[in-house]
């Protein structure tokens, strides 16, 4: 059984082990694979694992022995699942591995917007404190979260976990989701999108990218928010119309924003958020703690084992 990992570096830059996967077949691991080389890299393999390498219909239909595609992620839009199904190729993903880490990172971004810990540490290192006339100084407004309203757009696993942490910080949580669960009523008050936008002091995004959510943070919705709102996005970059958010930051309608995702990744030099005032950008690392990546890898290998046993798990329907 030939197994190929097309782009293993992002999940495992060297601090995890492929040994368990290697026990299941003749394993080849590539750090990265350009789309144009995907077919040649798959070669005669029966099993291919991919994180971001695109597997198009053309690639899938021409791979002579391919029987299984494992997506090393939750999102699977990089694989043409209809073409795979038509050829009898099983496609499986890892539906839940980063709930705790992504929620933790959302809160970390929110806290950084409130306290600017990194900025003040740098100012101390630059000598600002030792030269200060007073025992204390702060360069930016500091925000206490107790009693503030957190608006959570999307209330799946990550939205719920974020709400739990926010409540522990003393925040009141409102949420907007198409299908609220009755058992979540103790975590959040479910409201309309307009109500969430108008009531929230902080807004955090945890919804999937769909036609109804794409560009949900746009000029019209930004105008409905409280002046001075904080916005956090570590879900999908395309949820935000970046030029609209940049303009709202410049005008002060939005006091500050923190994003771990952008519309095109890696970020491009012309992204308007790069020059926007009070905008914190991190390079899509919410999912990347070692513990989280190990959980992802373990589940991906579990999926391969299940397939080999004739009982595939976490299958994506074409």
Contacts by 106-111, CB closer than 8 A, 24 or more apart:
106/158, 106/162, 106/204, 106/206, 106/232, 106/234, 106/286, 107/162, 107/165, 107/166, 107/169, 109/232, 109/234, 109/258, 109/260, 109/280, 109/282, 110/145, 110/150, 110/202, 110/204, 110/230, 110/232, 110/258
Phi–psi pair at 26, nearest 5 degrees: -80, 100
d(C-alpha 83, C-alpha 211), whole Å: 22
Tokens of 9: 């570096």
236 in catalytic set:
yes
Q: Among 58, 126, 265, 291, which one carries the catalytic annotation? A: 265
* Residue of 157, 167, 284, 305 marked catalytic: 284
Catalytic option among 160, 236, 293, 295: 236
Instruction: List the one residue out of 144, 143, 120 whose CA is nearest residue 132.
Output: 120
User: Is-catalytic flag, 250?
Assistant: no
Structure tokens at 175: 């949420």
Specify whether 189 is catalytic.
no
Catalytic residues: 236, 265, 284
């Amino acid at each position: 059984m030939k197994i190929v990992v097309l782009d293993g570096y992002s999940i495992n830059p060297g601090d995890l082990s492929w040994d368990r996967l290697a026990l299941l077949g003749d394993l080849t691991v590539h750090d990265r694979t350009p789309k144009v080389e995907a077919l040649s890299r798959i070669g005669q393999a029966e099993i291919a694992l991919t994180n971001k390498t695109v597997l198009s219909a053309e690639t899938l239909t021409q791979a002579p022995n391919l029987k299984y595609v494992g997506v090393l992620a939750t999102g699977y839009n990089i694989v043409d699942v209809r073409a795979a199904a038509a050829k009898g190729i099983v496609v499986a993903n890892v539906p839940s591995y980063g709930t705790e880490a992504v929620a933790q990172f959302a809160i970390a971004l929110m806290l950084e917007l409130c306290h600017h810990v990194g900025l003040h540490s740098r100012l101390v290192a630059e000598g600002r404190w030792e030269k200060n006339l007073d025992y204390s100084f702060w360069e930016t407004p500091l925000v206490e979260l107790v009693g503030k309203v957190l608006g959570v757009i999307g209330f799946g696993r990550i939205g719920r976990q974020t709400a739990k942490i926010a409540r522990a910080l003393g925040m009141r949580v409102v949420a907007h989701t198409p299908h609220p669960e009755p058992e979540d009523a103790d975590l959040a008050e479910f409201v309309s999108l307009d109500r969430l936008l108008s009531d929230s002091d902080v807004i955090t995004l945890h919804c999937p990218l769909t036609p109804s959510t794409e560009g949900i943070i746009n000029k019209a919705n930004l105008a409905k928010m409280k002046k001075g709102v904080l916005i956090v996005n570590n879900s999908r970059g395309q949820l935000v119309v970046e030029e609209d958010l940049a303009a709202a930051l410049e005008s002060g309608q939005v006091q500050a924003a923190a994003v771990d995702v952008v519309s095109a990744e890696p970020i491009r030099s012309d992204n308007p958020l790069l020059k926007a005032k009070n905008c914190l950008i991190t390079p899509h690392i919410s999912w990347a703690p070692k513990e989280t990546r190990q959980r992802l890898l373990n589940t991906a290998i579990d999926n391969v084992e299940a397939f080999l046993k004739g009982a595939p798990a976490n299958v994506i329907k074409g």
